[in-house]
Structure formats: structure tokens, C-alpha cells
């Protein structure tokens, strides 16, 4: 992970463009998520959409990662491989997407329910998204990295969920992963000071059961130790005074999901 890159206003606007392309890509994926589709089809569609819009999939070939999307099913936490698996009703599918456009990176993730999921899983998705929003509320000048983690952890643990510690959010923009690391746990008032010009990816990974994870022999996939579901929501966010500037958006996705209902 490289150093902290402080961005100019112009650079932040370029990161917004990259992040919005990520958001639109996730909305394209949202359109076709349904029982019977293979996850590799989602990957192909995303790659085509990103390239048609002048971008490059940021994950493809990153440290040897072989796909454009990370697609993590059910008890998989992050970094899952797309493949021939066909989605079925009741699955959850976390889709993480990164884009390079005009040399700047955006990064965002959303966990989708396929058809009807059970009420416990539905609650996990809702609470994980709330964790992201609560973390973002702390992503302002004057706060510290630990304030974000504290907010995320407190909300997750209040709901008896496990917070994944082995993987963390990160600075983003000039590179896919920059300093500082943004853990989903922490102490209030601890860690690096948040300053104007910092752009970070906040990405709670929350488990329905225990916090522990296992790392697969494929070198990438991470899943829960107890086999219970996990959820992942991520935004790229610019640190500002008073209120964070969220550069990615779930609006496109949620428009699509509303129309599918
Ligand atoms: Mg991501
Ligand atoms: Mg990320």
C-alpha cells in the first residue's frame, strides 16, 4: 500500500467520475441479477460496460486477480471469483467493482439479495449498509480513522454481528489501495487525522455469526469460519469539513431494484 495521497479539488472530481462509473456498472449488474444467471455472466457484462464507457476494470490483473468483479456468495466475505455457479433464490451476492478512468480509481461494493432471502439475512444486509452510513458520518475533517471504525463496530456488535478484522478499507484514487488503512473497528479519537484532500474507501464487512474468516487456497476467496452469511457495502468518500462527500452512489442500483420489485 502506497503513501497517503492528498488530492486537489480537480482530482477529486476525476475520482467522482471513476466512482460514478463504478456505481453505474453495479446498476447494470443489478438489472440482471436473478436466479439462473451464472456469476461469470455478471463479470463479462461489467467488463464490457466499463470498457464501453472508456474505463478499465481496476481489479482485473491486480496482483494477479483474474476477473473484473469480486463476486462473493453467501458465506463468502470478499474477493470471490465469478464462475459457472448459477444464482438461486435466497442467495446473497456481494459485488465489488473498481474502475480506472483518466488514471483515477473508484471503488464500491453492494450486497444483493437474489429473490427472497430469509429475514435474518435481510437484516444483515440492512445493518451492514447502516454501518457504512454511520462510518461515512465520521469521515469529516477533525475526526480520526478510529472514529470511523468505532462507529461501524459499535452498530454491528449492537446487533450481535461479527466485524471482520483481517480486511480493511483504504485510501483510494491515485492507486487502488493507498494509505491510510480504514479498519471497521477501532477506538474513538485514535489513528490518523482525517484531512481535506483525503479520499477513502469505507467498506464494512460484517458477518451474521462469528467475526473469524478463512482464506481459501485459491489465494483470494475469503469466507466466514462458521459458514454463516456475510455482507459488504462500500463507498468511495472524500473527506470534507462538516459532511463527507460520497463520490460513489447506490442511487442507480436502488432505482433498478425498485423497478424489479
Ligand atoms: Mg471494493
Ligand atoms: Mg475497497
Residue 96 clears pLDDT 80, i.e. is over it = yes
User: What are 203-218's pLDDT values in tens digits?
Assistant: 999 999 999 999 999 9
Mean pLDDT of 173-191: 98
pLDDT for residue 60 = 98
- Give the distance (Å) from ligand 1 centre to CA of residue 110: 9
pLDDT at 2: 65
Counting ligands in written order, the one closest to the CA of 108 is 1
pLDDT of residue 4 exceeding 80, the answer is yes
Domain-located, residue 113: yes
The enclosing domain of 85 has a CATH number of: 3.90.230.10
Q: What is the mean pLDDT of the chain?
A: 97
| Domain range enclosing 171 | 9-260
Q: Which stretches does DSSP call E strand in the chain?
A: 56-57, 69-73, 76-78, 92-101, 104-113, 162-163, 169-171, 178-182, 199-202, 205-207, 213-215, 222-224, 230-232, 235-238, 245-246
Q: pLDDT band for position 260 (50/70/90)?
A: confident
Residue 218 lies in a domain: yes
**Cα(169)–Cα(180) distance, rounded to whole angstroms?**
8
**How far is the centre of ligand 2, averaged over its atoms, from the C-alpha of 95 (Å)?**
11
Which band of pLDDT confidence, cut at 50, 70 and 90, is reported for residue 1?
low
Contact 45, 32 (CB under 8 A): yes
Ligand 1 centroid – CA 33 distance (Å): 19
pLDDT confidence of residue 116: 94
Ligand 2 mean position, distance from CA 53 (Å): 21
**Could you tell me the three cell numbers for 97?**
467493482
Q: Rounded mean pLDDT of 31-60?
A: 98
∠ Cα 220 70 155 (to 5°): 95
User: What average pLDDT does range 184-189 have in this prediction?
Assistant: 98
Residue 138 has pLDDT above 60, yes or no: yes
CB 153 within 8 A of CB 254: no
Residue 99 lies in a domain: yes
Q: Give the chain's domain count.
A: 1
Q: Is the pLDDT of residue 261 over 80?
A: no
Q: What is the pLDDT of residue 164?
A: 98
Mean pLDDT across 6-32: 98
Angle ∠(113,185,72) on CA atoms, nearest 5: 30
pLDDT tier at 75 (50, 70, 90 boundaries)?
A: very high
In the numeric block, the cell 452469511 is attached to: 229
Give the pairing of strands 56-57 and 69-73: unpaired
Ligand nearest to the CA of 200: 2
Residue 256, domain member (yes or no) = yes
Q: How far is the CA of 178 from the centre of ligand 2 (A)?
A: 10
Nearest to 44 by CA among 67, 73, 26: 67
List of residues 6+ apart from 236 with CB closer than 8 A:
15, 19, 22, 106, 107, 108, 172, 173, 199, 200, 201, 246, 247, 248
> Ligand 2 (ion): which residues have CB within 5 A?
107, 201
Q: How far is the CA of 112 from the centre of ligand 1 (A)?
A: 15
159 band by pLDDT with thresholds 50, 70 and 90: very high
How remote is the CA of residue 188 from the centroid of ligand 1, in Å? 25
What proportion of the chain, given as a percentage, has pLDDT over 70?
99
Average pLDDT of 111-133?
97
Extract the C-alpha cell encoding 143.
475526526
d(CA 174, CA 103): 7
Position 2 in a domain: no
Grid coordinates belonging to 106 = 473508484
Q: How confident is the model at residue 187 (pLDDT cuts 50, 70, 90)?
A: very high
Look at residue 81 and tell me if it is in a domain: yes
Rounded Cα distance between 195 and 74, Å, is 36
| 3 in a structural domain | no
4 located within any domain: no
User: What separation in Å is there between the alpha carbon of 170 and the centre of ligand 2?
Assistant: 6
Mean pLDDT over 136-160 rounds to 98
Neighbours of ion ligand 1 (CB under 5 A): 96, 107, 109, 234
What percent of the chain has a predicted confidence (pLDDT) above 90? 98
Interhelix angle 9-32/39-52, rounded to 10 degrees, is 140
Amino acid at each position: 500500500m502506497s503513501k497517503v495521497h492528498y488530492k486537489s479539488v480537480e482530482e477529486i472530481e476525476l475520482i467522482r467520475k471513476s466512482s460514478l462509473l463504478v456505481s453505474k456498472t453495479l446498476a447494470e449488474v443489478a438489472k440482471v441479477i436473478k436466479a439462473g444467471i451464472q456469476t461469470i455472466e455478471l463479470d463479462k457484462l461489467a467488463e464490457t460496460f466499463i470498457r464501453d464507457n472508456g474505463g478499465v476494470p481496476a481489479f482485473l490483473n491486480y496482483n494477479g486477480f483474474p476477473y473484473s468483479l469480486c463476486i462473493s456468495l453467501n458465506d463468502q466475505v470478499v474477493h470471490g471469483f465469478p464462475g459457472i455457479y448459477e444464482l438461486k433464490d435466497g442467495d446473497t451476492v456481494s459485488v465489488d467493482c473498481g474502475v480506472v478512468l483518466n488514471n483515477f480509481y473508484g471503488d464500491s461494493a453492494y450486497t444483493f439479495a437474489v429473490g427472497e432471502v430469509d429475514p435474518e439475512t435481510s437484516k444483515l444486509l440492512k445493518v451492514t449498509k447502516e454501518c457504512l452510513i454511520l462510518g461515512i458520518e465520521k469521515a469529516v475533517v477533525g475526526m480520526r480513522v478510529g472514529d470511523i471504525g468505532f462507529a461501524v463496530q459499535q452498530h454491528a456488535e449492537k446487533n450481535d454481528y461479527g466485524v471482520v478484522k483481517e480486511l480493511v478499507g483504504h485510501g483510494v484514487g491515485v492507486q487502488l489501495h493507498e494509505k491510510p488503512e480504514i479498519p471497521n473497528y477501532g477506538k474513538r479519537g485514535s489513528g490518523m487525522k482525517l484531512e481535506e484532500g483525503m479520499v477513502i474507501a469505507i467498506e464494512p464487512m460484517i458477518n451474521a455469526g462469528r467475526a473469524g474468516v478463512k482464506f481459501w487456497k485459491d489465494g483470494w476467496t475469503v469466507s466466514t469460519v462458521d459458514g454463516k452469511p456475510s455482507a459488504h457495502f462500500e463507498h468511495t468518500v472524500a473527506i470534507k469539513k462538516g459532511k463527507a462527500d460520497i463520490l460513489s452512489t447506490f442511487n442507480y442500483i436502488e432505482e433498478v431494484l425498485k423497478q424489479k420489485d
